[in-house]
Amino acid sequence: MKKIGIIGCGWLGSRMATSMSDRYTIYTTTTTKDKVEDLSFKGFHTSVASFPDFQLEEKITQWSEIKDIDVLVITIPLSGKSCCASSLYNRIQHLLSFIGDFDGQMFVMSSTGVYPDIAGAYTEESLSSDQVPGERMIRNRYPQANILRLSGLMGDNRLLKNYNVSNLETPVNHIHYEDISGVIEKMIEKGSEGKLYNVTAPQHPSKAQVINAQKNLASPEKAVGEGKVILPSKLISELDFVFKYPDPRAFH
**Structurally, how many domains does the chain consist of?**
1
- Look up the domain containing 50 and give its range: 3-161+175-204+232-250
Would you say 194 and 143 are in contact if contact means Cβ atoms under 8 Å apart? yes
Q: 101 in a domain, yes or no? A: yes
Q: 227 in a domain, yes or no? A: no
- 10-residue mean pLDDT profile of the chain (252 residues): values are 94 94 94 86 91 86 95 88 81 95 97 96 97 96 98 95 95 98 97 98 97 94 92 98 98 93
Residue 192: CB partners within 8 Å, gap ≥ 6?
105, 146, 239
Q: 215 in a domain, yes or no? A: no
The predicted pLDDT at position 81 comes to 65
Q: Containing H/E element for 189?
A: helix 177-190
Rounded Cα distance between 115 and 151, Å, is 11
The predicted pLDDT at position 85 comes to 84
Which 3 state secondary structure label does DSSP give 175? strand
Q: 169 in a domain, yes or no? A: no
Q: 222 in a domain, yes or no? A: no
Q: 213 in a domain, yes or no? A: no
Other C-beta atoms closer than 10 Å to the C-beta of 105 total 21
Would you say 197 and 183 are in contact if contact means Cβ atoms under 8 Å apart? yes
Q: 72 in a domain, yes or no? A: yes
Q: 110 in a domain, yes or no? A: yes
Q: Tens digit of pLDDT for each residue in 218-236?
A: 998 888 999 999 999 999 9
- What is the length of the chain? 252
Query: DSSP per residue over 110-165, as a string?
Result: EEGGGS-SSSEEE-GGGS-GGGSHHHHHHHHH-TTPEEEEE-EEEBTTB-GGGS--
Rounded Cα distance between 162 and 140, Å, is 39
Instruction: Give the predicted TM-score (pTM) of the model.
Output: 0.95
The predicted pLDDT at position 82 comes to 62
Would you say 111 and 44 are in contact if contact means Cβ atoms under 8 Å apart? no
DSSP letter (8 states) at residue 248: G
Residue 136: which CATH number?
3.40.50.720
Rounded Cα distance between 16 and 22, Å, is 11
